[in-house]
């Protein structure tokens, strides 16, 4: 077992043999790595970078309460021009297309940051874990091979919540799937009824703060032309409701290459069971994620009770998980958004 204090700035003193006396689930190499100061909060992290409660970052800390979230979901304020940017300087964010073609397969945040020429201290991974998890899921589910042949990728994205208020970040799929027409069906009860059926076309990247940057010129005569010339597009379709209730409403030409359900919580919600049964009948690769490994094991048990089969893709760490721990988790375990992946 790896020391839970690894990466805190000091080297591990040996193997992780000192288990937590409360939960027994995590281990440390020494007392110094077990007893440490509480890391800075998300609010302090965002404040130091001048992005606290701004645009897409507004939903990354506890300052944004449930009442505000409901209001924003109804209006999708983050899609408006005033909120559709990174609120960062251009050298800290991917506000335009990549300088070089994407490598065969990105396998870590380091690979991604190096490819996009972004310094490692940039906070963009806090939002880009959504599109990068899609990218990684497409590769490990072998959906990528059919995409290369058809230049089309249809994804059914189940149970979106917070990401609905950060949709501009999904513009990065333009770079991750060059020359591919990406269509994502967002399906979940968090989508307001008044937004049901709405279509959103992302034809450019989220903007930076540099007034003279190419991303802040007219998208019609710059970004959109460049993207169209490569036959790349990202279309998001919104569907309110549970997947097994709405699936029959989808057009036949929207049959998915891949189903993905981020932070699914399968064991916590009985409504997942008929959806799992439907996915079994569809025989389509489905990738799920959750906040911790224990939640994935519980989900695997639920899936087996429905399908009678073990996971086709074993539980594994997601290299593109959100790199900041969830605050105030009810579990006595380190939890990260999109932390572990598994599939059926």
The confidence score (pLDDT) of residue 76 equals: 56
Strands 18-19 and 152-158: what pairing? unpaired
Predicted pLDDT at 119: 96
- Read off the pLDDT of residues 139-167 as tens digits, 9 standing for 90 and up: 999 876 666 667 899 999 999 999 999 99
- 70-91: b or e for each residue (b if 16 or more CB lie within 10 Å)? eebbeebbbbeeebbbbbbebe
Report the relative pairing of strands 233-240 and 199-202 from DSSP bridges.
antiparallel
Strands 181-188 and 233-240 come out as parallel
Supply the mean pLDDT for the chain: 86
- What is the bridge-based pairing of β-strands 286-290 and 181-188? unpaired
Domains and CATH numbers, the chain: 31-65+77-210+231-343 (3.40.50)
Predicted confidence at residue 71, as pLDDT, reads 62
pLDDT at res. 175: 95
Closest CA to 190 of 56, 58, 74: 74
pLDDT at 224: 44
How many other CB atoms are there within 10 angstroms of residue 165's CB atom?
A: 25
Enumerate residues 6+ apart whose C-beta is below 8 A from 37.
none
Q: Specify the pTM.
A: 0.85
Q: Residue 121: what pLDDT?
A: 94
Determine the Cα–Cα distance for residues 221 and 217; give it in Å rounded to an integer: 8
How many whole angstroms separate alpha carbon 52 and alpha carbon 195? 27
CA dist 10 and 238 (Å) reads 46
For the chain, 344 residues long, give each residue's pLDDT as a single digit of tens.
778 777 666 788 888 888 877 666 678 888 878 775 555 789 999 999 999 999 999 989 888 665 565 566 665 544 444 457 999 999 999 999 999 988 778 999 999 999 999 999 999 999 999 999 999 999 999 876 666 667 899 999 999 999 999 999 999 999 999 989 999 999 999 999 999 999 999 988 999 999 999 888 754 434 444 444 456 789 999 999 999 999 998 877 789 999 999 999 999 999 999 999 999 999 999 999 999 999 999 999 999 999 999 999 999 999 999 999 988 766 667 899 999 999 99
């Amino acid at each position: 077992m790896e020391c839970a204090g690894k990466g805190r700035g000091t080297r591990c003193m040996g193997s992780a043999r000192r288990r937590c006396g409360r939960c027994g689930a995590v281990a440390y190499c020494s007392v110094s790595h077990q007893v440490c100061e509480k890391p800075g909060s998300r609010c302090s992290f965002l404040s130091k970078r001048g992005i606290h409660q701004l645009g897409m970052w507004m939903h990354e800390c506890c300052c944004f309460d449930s009442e505000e979230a409901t209001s924003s979901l109804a209006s999708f304020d983050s899609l408006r021009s005033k909120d559709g940017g990174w609120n960062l300087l251009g050298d800290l964010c991917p506000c335009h297309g990549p300088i070089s073609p994407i490598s065969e397969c990105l396998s870590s945040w380091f690979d991604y940051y190096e490819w996009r020429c972004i310094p490692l201290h940039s906070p963009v991974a806090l939002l880009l874990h959504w599109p990068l998890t899609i990218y990684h899921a497409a590769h490990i589910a072998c959906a990528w091979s059919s995409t290369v042949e058809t230049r089309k990728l249809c994804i059914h994205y189940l149970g979106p919540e917070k990401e609905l208020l950060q949709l501009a970040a999904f513009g990065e799929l333009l770079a991750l799937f060059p020359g591919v027409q990406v269509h994502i069906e967002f399906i979940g009860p968090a989508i307001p009824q008044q937004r049901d059926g709405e279509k959103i076309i992302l034809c450019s990247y989220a903007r930076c703060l540099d007034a003279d940057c190419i991303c802040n010129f007219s998208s019609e005569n710059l970004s959109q032309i460049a993207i169209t010339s490569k036959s790349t597009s990202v279309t998001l379709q919104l569907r309110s409701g549970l997947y097994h209730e709405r699936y029959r409403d989808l057009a036949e030409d929207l049959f998915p290459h891949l189903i993905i359900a981020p932070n699914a919580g399968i064991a916590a919600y009985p409504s997942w069971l008929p959806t799992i049964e439907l996915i079994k009948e569809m025989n389509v690769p489905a990738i799920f994620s959750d906040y911790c490994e224990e939640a994935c094991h519980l989900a695997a048990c639920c899936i087996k009770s429905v399908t009678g089969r073990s996971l086709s893709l074993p539980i594994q760490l997601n290299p593109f998980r959100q790199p900041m721990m969830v605050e105030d988790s009810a579990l006595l375990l380190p939890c990260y958004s999109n932390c572990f992946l598994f599939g059926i």
